Structure 1
Amino acid sequence: MPMRFIYSPKYEVDIGSHVFPTCKYRLVRERLLEEGLAREEDFVEPAPATRAQLELAHTPEYLEDLEHLRWTDRTRFSELPLTKPIVDAYVLAAGGTILGARIALTAPERLCVHLGGGFHHAFADKAEGFCYINDIAVAIRVMQHEQRIHTAMVVDCDLHQGNGTARIFENDPTVFTFSIHQENNYPLKERSDLDIGLEDFAGDSEYLSALSDGLEIAFSQHKPELLVYVAGVDPYYDDQLGALKLTKEGMKARDELVLGEARKRGIPAVIVFAGGYARKLNDVVELHTQTCRVAYELVTQG
């Protein structure tokens, strides 16, 4: 059974000298082809999210600022330039997560990997932390609007709390947000349905124990029809922006735990990449590829 991967070369945009390597999406795609985990025909290119779809999670005023490239209080905390190719890439990534969710809900493998997305710091009405459009929220809202699902869960394992996602779904009982992150780091914390903030230097054992406990709590409180796994690779020990100390093996065990729990419960899942800022670019690429390997093995080995 082949895996489908969502990807667009338009995700690689010029953001100047920056810690965020937008080339990682292309490099992961190349690695998947090299390793035989994917064929050319297994990559699906998304269409951009429509304005109507974006408005399910974002305010019209904020979207107007983005469309007209206006530097306002709503856009200026992105920590990125504001150019048309960059905005277009974020709108396209929202389309990618929408497509990934559709595939996860309809395909026999019940799992799809988006080589992009995970922009969890974007709020309904403002940008933050390298994030202009919250593709996670847009995709969930679109699936609900299309009546494909009623309930969803976000399991956010990025180093940083998914503050934008938490705020967007704060008063929505149909969407459960679970974030496990480094506590003493960006951002100012919002309130997820379940937050686990780890102390600096937490390693594999502490992280995986907390994650396992958190998943048990989350699934005991909510019955999602779709899971969005925010698989940021910045908990890695050599990340430039963090102080968690997960090894490559710990990161693999994390992916296996989240995806295994979803699979055990028969919950369709879409994976989004989110952050990753290791000092060596090859580590970023390898860790994202490892997430894809875990997903591939789950699908191909039953």
Structure 2
Amino acid sequence: MNYKLIYSQRYEVDLGEHPFNTSKYRLIKEKLEKEFKNLEFIEPKEVDVNILYEVHTKEYVDKILNLKLSYDEILRLEIPLTKEVRDASLIAVGGTILAAELALKEKVGIHVGGGWHHAYPDHGEGFCVFNDLACAIKYLEKNYGIKKFAVVDLDVHQGNGTAKIFENKKNVFTYSIHQKEIYPYPKEKSTLDVELPAFTTDEIYLKILEETIKKVVEFNPEVVFYQAGADIYENDQLAQLKISKNGIKKRDQIVKESFKDKPIVLTLGGGYAFDINNTVEIHCNTIKVFL
């Protein structure tokens, strides 16, 4: 049996001296290929612009397409807007949509990328240009008649863009466990937010996850989007939680077990360990839980 994963080499873009090292995607692919001989990597296409208009304002989308962001808008985005960044962002939305379609057929869709949960309808921020999670939800809603969704966002930063996009949508349960004292400021209101103090350890984190994820299970979503950030790791540059690699594996297993009868769409989200090999190992461990 071949395992299908969504991946594009074009996700690796030059951001200069930056905590977001986009070579992680290629390194994840290479590490997995060494461990498994039955992987099929599927190249996604750039998303149709009309799908972007379902989530983002036309003015904002057109600014990105034409590389016309202002200096202040680029500062807010926190990455340079180049042709390569634009194209990678368009492909990433296509990749999460492709992973979502795969999940409907095979119960899991793994995107070696994606998870751009800080993008709002009218602007990007926190390294996120377009909100691929929201676009994929809108796509499934429109093209497959799916009515109930959950976003399980376990990145260390709150999924503020996703929370804002769906704040008045009763059919989308947004669930975020994140560190309290860090970006974004201010936080948005998800359906369920769980804020953790700095230096939270495995035992406390996993206990809180097991208790609070029950609310999402009770919602009974038809499809689950799992934003599996590696940045809760104890040696991450941009946060101060103290979760071990083994603790993160257990986190992923809890999510898988909680929604074992549901299609799950996996996106990788953040991961900024001081040593990129740790980020790559954590992401690979997550993917292996869902293979």
The interval holding the TM-score normalised by the smaller chain is over 0.9
Aligned to 1:90: 89
2:102 is paired with a residue whose SS is helix
1:55 is paired with a residue whose SS is helix
1:130 paired with 2:127, answer yes
Whether contact under 8 Å (1:97, 1:117) holds in the other structure is yes
2:109 is paired with a residue whose SS is strand
1:27 paired with 2:22, answer no
Whether contact under 8 Å (2:217, 2:258) holds in the other structure is no
Aligned to 1:299: none
Aligned to 1:293: 288
Gaps of 5+ in 2: none
1:46 paired with 2:44, answer yes
Q: Following TM superposition, by how much is the alpha carbon of 1:148 offset from its aligned partner in structure 2, in angstroms? A: 4.1
- 1:199/1:251 CA distance change after superposition, 3 Å: same
1:177 paired with 2:136, answer no
User: How big is each residue's C-alpha offset from its partner over 1:205-246, in whole Å with a ceiling of 9 and x where there is no partner?
Assistant: 1111111111101222x2211100000000000001111000
Whether contact under 8 Å (2:228, 2:267) holds in the other structure is yes
AA aligned to 1:241 is L
User: How big is each residue's C-alpha offset from its partner over 1:168-203, in whole Å with a ceiling of 9 and x where there is no partner?
Assistant: 000001111000000111002000000000011001
Aligned to 2:154: 157
Aligned to 2:108: 111
- 1:245/1:137 CA distance change after superposition, 3 Å: same
Once the two structures are aligned, what percentage of the paired residues are identical?
44
Whether contact under 8 Å (1:74, 1:125) holds in the other structure is no
- Taking structure 1 as the reference length, what is the TM-score of the superposition? 0.93
**Aligned equivalents of 2:269 and 2:116: distance in 1?**
6
Whether contact under 8 Å (2:74, 2:80) holds in the other structure is no
Whether contact under 8 Å (1:62, 1:74) holds in the other structure is no
- 1:38/1:240 CA distance change after superposition, 3 Å: farther
Aligned to 1:18: 18
**Aligned equivalents of 1:148 and 1:231: distance in 2?**
26
Whether contact under 8 Å (2:93, 2:135) holds in the other structure is yes
1:5 paired with 2:1, answer no
Q: Following TM superposition, by how much is the alpha carbon of 1:75 offset from its aligned partner in structure 2, in angstroms? A: 4.8
Aligned to 1:300: none
2:265 is paired with a residue whose SS is strand
- Taking structure 2 as the reference length, what is the TM-score of the superposition? 0.97
1:146 is paired with a residue whose SS is helix
**Aligned equivalents of 1:12 and 1:127: distance in 2?**
19
**Aligned equivalents of 1:151 and 1:158: distance in 2?**
22
Whether contact under 8 Å (1:117, 1:274) holds in the other structure is yes
**Aligned equivalents of 1:64 and 1:233: distance in 2?**
32
**Aligned equivalents of 2:59 and 2:148: distance in 1?**
28
Aligned to 2:207: 209
1:10 is paired with a residue whose SS is helix
Aligned to 2:265: 270
**Aligned equivalents of 1:149 and 1:56: distance in 2?**
16
**Aligned equivalents of 1:19 and 1:74: distance in 2?**
19
Whether contact under 8 Å (2:147, 2:171) holds in the other structure is yes
Whether contact under 8 Å (1:3, 1:112) holds in the other structure is no
**Aligned equivalents of 1:163 and 1:104: distance in 2?**
25
**Aligned equivalents of 1:251 and 1:147: distance in 2?**
32
**Aligned equivalents of 2:236 and 2:3: distance in 1?**
29
Gaps of 5+ in 1: 297-302
Whether contact under 8 Å (2:12, 2:22) holds in the other structure is yes
**Aligned equivalents of 1:136 and 1:37: distance in 2?**
29
